[in-house]
Amino acid sequence: MCGGVLNVSARDFTGANYTDAVNRFLKAVELAKLLQRPLVLGGGLAGGADTLLESVFERKWLASWGQTDLQVLELGRCENTHDEALSAAKIARDQGWTNIVLVTSAYHMDRALAVFQHAGLQVIPIGCDFHAMPALSRKTSLKILPNIGSAENLRRYLTESVGLAYYRLRGWIG
């Protein structure tokens, strides 16, 4: 699964504030249990370069749920999706896997899929966190002023569009 699901938060009882991308974690756990395969936790840096990995908090959450029967692997320190793809490729080689299931937010899937494939992985994409779908299926009249949801969807779109262009410039995707 791709990281980016939490931020360090001393005020929250778990020590983390989970973002709306937490569905990545939930879906990955669900699939690992269903498929009886290892859970590979994303390599996000929860509070920046010098902080704990997201997987530290996710492992605590798994333990608190009693989900200790899962084999858990970690991508390690990754600053971006490219780093996660390279780490996942190494784990796949080490484990002898011929393909992987990639779990990430639907809005992030195009870039994640491209970079994981560019890293040499055969990928089965599983999207979650479908933010734009409710807005697209709603039967409402055109509104001139955006609301918070439409502004957030635009931010996601722009982030991924710029991210794709950046990854192409860096040669991280074709």
All domains of the chain in start order, with CATH: 6-130 (3.40.50.620)
Burial of residue 3, with CB atoms counted within 10 A of its CB: 0-12 exposed, 13-18 middle, 19 or more buried: buried
User: Across the 174 residues of the chain, what is the mean pLDDT of every consecutive 10-residue run?
Assistant: 88 84 93 94 77 88 88 91 96 95 94 97 94 60 67 85 94 94
Cα 34 to Cα 3, 29, 74, distances in angstroms: 21, 9, 19
Helical ranges in the chain per DSSP H: 23-35, 54-64, 81-95, 109-118, 132-137, 148-170
Which residues lie below 8 Å from residue 44, measured CB to CB, with a gap of 6+? 2, 3, 4, 5, 6, 53, 54, 78
**Centroid of chain to Cα 14:** 20
At residue 62, the pLDDT reads: 92
Cα 137 to Cα 125, 130, 132, 133, 166, distances in angstroms: 23, 12, 9, 6, 31
Tokens of 170: 């860096």
Within 10 A of 164 (CB to CB), how many other CB atoms are there?
16
pTM: 0.85
At residue 15, the pLDDT reads: 84
Burial of residue 25, with CB atoms counted within 10 A of its CB: 0-12 exposed, 13-18 middle, 19 or more buried: buried
Terminal Cα distance for the chain, rounded: 22
Q: Is 102 helix (H, G, I), strand (E, B) or coil?
A: strand
Tell me if 54 sits within 8 A of 5, measured CB to CB: yes
At residue 138, the pLDDT reads: 58
